[in-house]
């Protein structure tokens, strides 16, 4: 190996690339190509074009001995530009999978990837195509394609197992996990790990190896494993019998199996690319990309855009029940000091113990260090009196779901808390305007509807009362961001976005049971379609008395659809907690059909003059999901939700709508809005109870007439 003198000219910053997407500078005889496509250096078409030009130019340039490839803003690259998939631009030449990697493979000079920040998907594949990799220990590496419903398409299934080993590679690809550099230091993914500036270390490294030949290429290696084929066959079998594995997992195994040796590497690439294209074009992958961008958009725009959020240093949670506990834990996990307020000393001490245990579990699972755990345990305190929380900046009320009880709490909070403190309610459906009205600071009142368990579920519905100021809204959103929640903004309305549209869905399930379907038929149909749990199993899990109490609290009496659920409540069939609900639960907790429930439903249907009949699974799914769609259109038109994609985010992230279908709005577009309108009109003619619900909303009719997809509809631009 020849090494160059350290004191040669330090840097030439001339030679700007033809576009500003890849900046070329030189240090001595090392060309440094900087991927520069903020915010994540995605490998969009113009980046690839510039990269192809600069790589070939560097290879031709007699003044250059080696090339360092680095990402701007201390971030290598988040991979292919996900925006380009649905337009086809992602595969237009120069493509990553073909041209760029072919140019790299043909380079006569060493190319060194200098990785800091994220090297994900195609970004990592690009790095794996380089001859050497210098990686910051703090970098994050991974092939997350499986989480988007497809597999790596630029050699990831071939090169990664050659760098990290078959088992580790398979795990990384099939889980789509993002790994810290420190988790991979025992692998060959890096030629050098560093805690210093990777670019400088890489340039130094480049000088040292510039003339070393042959140039190492991962593709020249075999995937080493004593029983490689048997291992992959075993993994394939396991995946086939798993309900939770990603759709791409089997395809990734197939690709790996096709290219286990240096001589079959290109065959592996071929299989990989064919499977990548097929999966990336399919609906589940389209839905995943749509959800990715929809979650980024959620919570943006609207009144809060120009407001500066208040600084929140201390938080109180009022109510130490299940929700209060989860909310407190969510805040502590984000390093907020939290005081939990509850008059019941016993409940309070049990809650504190559970929070401490949960923090300890996080440490044991490696989600927090020992120091973080100790610090977080010190951040949590408790009191029986709101007086002790007077100086907090934000309080989240999580007491019993009863408007009068909550009003009393809000009066006390208003009288006690310092001026400017934000008063948030965790109500899931009650009137936030009414709560704001009992305070002398209605502009500081907002809804923060967490989902149970609040420390786990990512959805946060932020409810804007009429009086909520832009600053309060901006503050709730900024707190949500620090809690790592996906925040969706709703205007005050009965049930806000989520519970309101879900009410329409559950009503259809109830109506169909009155019309002759069994609870098990309804559940099974929706579960086969992709829901984890059908509506009746959900009701039994939550407890049939809970929605009943919620309806009573909102002043909603018995209505025809829910009356059948009230019959169960009257008889004490509350669900799992009483061993009987829509189902009878045997000693192993397995739900079985309950003849008493069927005997209750039939006479009720007769009383309502509803004729019972057989249902197909298709009809069941259609009615429940179309109910979501039609109610969502009302929610949009009334301005309860700002954009259609927010509803999809809420449904997928908080209500179990199958992610592979993108959400009800996205689904409706896939089915075709004209078909949606046609089916709704048929239901309007044929459904015996509340046929008026099935008048297709004018928004859907207008969009079906050619005004664009429902999922892209937004009140902000309308
Ligand atoms: C692939 O590479 C296929 C190849 O195998 C084969 C090709 C042939 N594209 O999340 P953030 C945007 S598939 C376009 O808020 P963070 C994002 O929308 C790809 N845009 O930041 C947002 O925009 P905006 C494999 C992207 O720091 C902004 O960047 N790659 C992409 O919390 C900031 O994002 C992945 O799966 C992208 N690839 O997290 C990585 N990535 O500000 C997906 C991000 O306008 N990305 N944006 O809303 C991520 O996991 C996270 O964004 C990341 C940063 C960890 C990178």
* Domain ranges, ordered by start, for the chain: 12-279, 312-492, 499-712
User: How far is the C-alpha of 32 from the C-alpha of 22, rounded, in Å?
Assistant: 10
User: For residue 82, how far is its CA from the centre of ligand 1 (angstroms)?
Assistant: 7
pLDDT at 306: 82
User: What's the pLDDT score for residue 245?
Assistant: 67
Closest ligand 1 atom to Cα of 40: 29
For the ranges 302-306, 584-588, 706-710, the lowest mean pLDDT is seen at 302-306
Residue 80 near ligand 1, beta carbon < 6 Å: yes
What's the whole-number mean pLDDT along residues 493-521?
95
By DSSP bridging, strand 315-318 and strand 394-397 are parallel
Whether pLDDT at 4 is above 70: no
C-alpha 40 to ligand 1 mean position (Å): 6
Q: Which two tokens stand for residue 11?
A: 């840097």
Distance from residue 144's CA to the centre of ligand 1 (Å):
10
Q: Specify the pLDDT at position 559.
A: 72
Does domain 312-492 correspond to CATH entry 3.40.430.10? no
pLDDT at 558: 57
pLDDT of residue 453: 94
Centre of ligand 1 to C-alpha 659, Å, is: 18
In DSSP terms, 583 is beta-bridged to 593
Which tens digits make up the pLDDT trace of 446-473? 999 999 999 999 999 999 999 999 999 9
Mutate which of 71, 78, 649 to test ligand 1's pocket (most atoms within 8 Å of Cβ)? 78
Q: Which tokens in the block code for residue 111?
A: 């190319």
Torsion sign, CA atoms 654, 655, 660, 663: negative
156 lines ligand 1 (CB under 6 A): yes
**Residue 12: predicted pLDDT:** 45
The reply to whether ligand 1 has any atom less than 6 angstroms from the CB of 153 is yes
DSSP string spanning 440-506? S-GGGEEEEEE-SSTTT--EEEEEE-TT--HHHHHHHHHHHHHTT-EEEEEES-TTTTHHHHHHHHH
- Cβ–ligand 1 contact at 42 (below 6 Å): yes
Nearest CA to ligand 1 atom 25: 121
Q: Would you place residue 9 in the very low, low, confident or very high pLDDT band (cuts 50, 70, 90)? A: very low
Report which DSSP code applies to 693.
G
For the Cβ of 120 lying below 6 angstroms from any atom of ligand 1, the answer is yes
Among 2-16, 31-45, 298-312, 514-528, the minimum mean pLDDT is found in 2-16
594 lines ligand 1 (CB under 6 A): no
CB 369, CB 376: distance < 8 Å: no
Instruction: Please state the φ and ψ torsions of residue 427, each to the nearest 5 degrees.
Output: -55, 145
Q: 69: part of which helix (H) or strand (E)?
A: strand 66-71
- pLDDT at site 546: 85
Domain 499-712 belongs to what architecture? Orthogonal Bundle (1.10)
Q: Share the mean pLDDT of the chain.
A: 93
Going by CATH, does the domain composed of 12-279 fall within 2.70.50.60? no
Query: In the predicted model, is pLDDT for residue 47 greater than 50?
Result: yes
Ligand 1: atom nearest CA of 122 is 2
Q: What is the pLDDT of residues 408-450, one digit of tens each?
A: 999 999 999 999 999 999 999 899 999 999 999 999 999 999 9
Banded pLDDT at 617 (limits 50, 70, 90): very high
Q: Indicate which residue's Cα is closest to atom 22 of ligand 1.
A: 296
pLDDT of residue 207: 98
Check if 142 has its Cβ closer than 6 Å to any atom of ligand 1. Answer: no
Would the CB of 176 count as within 6 Å of ligand 1?
Answer: no
* Of residues 486, 496, 488, the one with CA closest to residue 465: 496
**Token pair 């937004």: residue:** 714
CA of residue 484 to ligand 1 center, whole Å: 16
Tell me phi and psi for residue 464, to 5 degrees.
-95, 115
ipTM value: 0.99
Q: Supply the pLDDT for residue 687.
A: 94
- pLDDT exceeds 90 at position 718: no
Residues annotated catalytic, as ranges: 125, 145
| Residues 6+ positions from 320 with CB-CB distance below 8 Å | 328, 340, 341, 342, 344, 347, 348, 350, 351, 382
């Amino acid at each position: 190996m020849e090494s160059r003198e350290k004191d040669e000219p330090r840097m030439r910053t001339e030679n700007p690339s033809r576009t500003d997407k890849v900046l070329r500078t030189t240090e001595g005889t090392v060309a440094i190509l900087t991927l520069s496509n903020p915010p994540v250096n995605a490998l969009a078409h113009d980046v690839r074009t510039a990269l192809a030009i600069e790589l070939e130019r560097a290879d031709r340039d007699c003044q250059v001995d080696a090339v360092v490839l680095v990402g701007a803003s201390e971030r290598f690259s988040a991979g292919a530009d996900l925006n380009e998939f649905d337009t086809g631009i992602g595969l237009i030449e120069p493509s990553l999978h073909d041209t760029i990697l072919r140019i790299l493979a043909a380079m006569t000079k060493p190319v060194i990837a200098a990785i800091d920040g994220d090297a994900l998907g195609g970004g990592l594949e690009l790095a794996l195509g380089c001859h050497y990799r210098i990686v910051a220990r703090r970098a994050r590496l991974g092939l997350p394609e499986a989480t988007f419903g497809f597999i790596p398409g630029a050699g990831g299934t071939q090169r990664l197992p050659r760098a990290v080993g078959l088992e580790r590679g398979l795990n990384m690809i099939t889980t789509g996990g993002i790994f810290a550099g420190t988790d991979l230091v025992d692998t060959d993914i890096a030629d050098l790990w560093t805690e210093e500036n990777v670019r400088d270390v890489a340039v130094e490294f480049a000088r040292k190896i510039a003339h070393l030949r042959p140039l190492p290429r991962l593709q020249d290696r075999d995937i080493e494993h004593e029983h490689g084929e048997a291992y992959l066959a075993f993994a394939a079998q396991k995946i086939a019998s798993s309900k939770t594995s990603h759709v791409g997992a089997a395809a990734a195994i197939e690709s790996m199996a096709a290219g286990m040796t240096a001589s079959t590497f290109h065959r592996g690439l071929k299989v990989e690319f064919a499977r990548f294209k097929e999966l990336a074009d399919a609906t589940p992958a389209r839905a995943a990309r749509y959800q990715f961008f929809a979650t980024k958009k959620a919570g943006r725009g609207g009144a809060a855009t120009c407001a500066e959020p208040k600084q929140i240093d201390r938080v109180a949670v009022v109510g130490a029940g299940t929700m209060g506990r989860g909310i407190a834990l969510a805040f502590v996990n984000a390093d907020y000091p939290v005081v939990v307020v509850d008059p019941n000393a016993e409940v309070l001490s049990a809650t504190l113990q559970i929070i401490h245990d949960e923090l300890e579990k996080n440490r044991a699972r490696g989600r927090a260090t020992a120091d973080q755990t100790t610090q977080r345990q010190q951040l949590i305190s408790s009191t029986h009196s709101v007086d002790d929380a007077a100086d907090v900046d934000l309080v989240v009320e999580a007491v019993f779901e009863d408007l009068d009880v909550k009003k009393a709490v809000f009066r006390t909070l208003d009288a006690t808390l310092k001026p400017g403190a934000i008063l948030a309610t965790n109500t899931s459906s009650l009137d936030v305007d009414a709560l704001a009205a009992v305070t002398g600071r209605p502009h500081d009142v907002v809804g923060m509807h967490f989902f149970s368990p609040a420390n786990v579920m990512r959805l946060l519905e932020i409810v804007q009362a009429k009086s909520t100021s832009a600053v309060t809204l901006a503050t709730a959103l900024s707190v949500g961001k620090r809690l790592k929640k996906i925040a969706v903004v709703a205007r005050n309305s009965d049930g806000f976005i989520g519970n309101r549209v879900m009410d329409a869905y559950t009503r259809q399930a109830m109506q169909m049971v009155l019309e002759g379907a069994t609870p098990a038929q309804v559940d099974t149909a929706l579960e086969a379609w992709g829901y984890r749990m059908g509506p009746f199993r959900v009701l039994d899990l939550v407890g049939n008395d809970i929605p009943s109490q919620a309806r009573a609290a909102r002043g909603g009496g018995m209505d025809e659809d829910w009356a059948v659920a009230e019959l169960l409540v009257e008889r004490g069939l509350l669900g799992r907690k009483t061993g009987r609900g829509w189902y009878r639960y045997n000693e192993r907790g397995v739900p079985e059909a309950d003849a008493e429930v069927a005997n209750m439903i039939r006479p009720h249907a007769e009383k309502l003059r509803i004729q019972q009949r057989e249902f197909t699974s298709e009809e069941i799914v259609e009615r429940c999901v179309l109910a979501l769609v039609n109610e969502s259109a009302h929610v949009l038109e009334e301005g309860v939700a700002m954009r259609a994609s927010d509803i999809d985010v809420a449904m997928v992230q908080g209500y179990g709508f199958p992610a592979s279908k993108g959400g009800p709005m996205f689904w409706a577009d896939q089915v075709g809005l004209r078909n949606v309108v046609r089916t709704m009109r048929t239901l309007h003619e044929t459904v015996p109870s509340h046929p008026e619900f099935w008048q297709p909303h004018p928004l859907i009719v207008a969009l079906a007439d050619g005004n664009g997809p429902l999922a892209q509809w937004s009140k902000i631009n309308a």
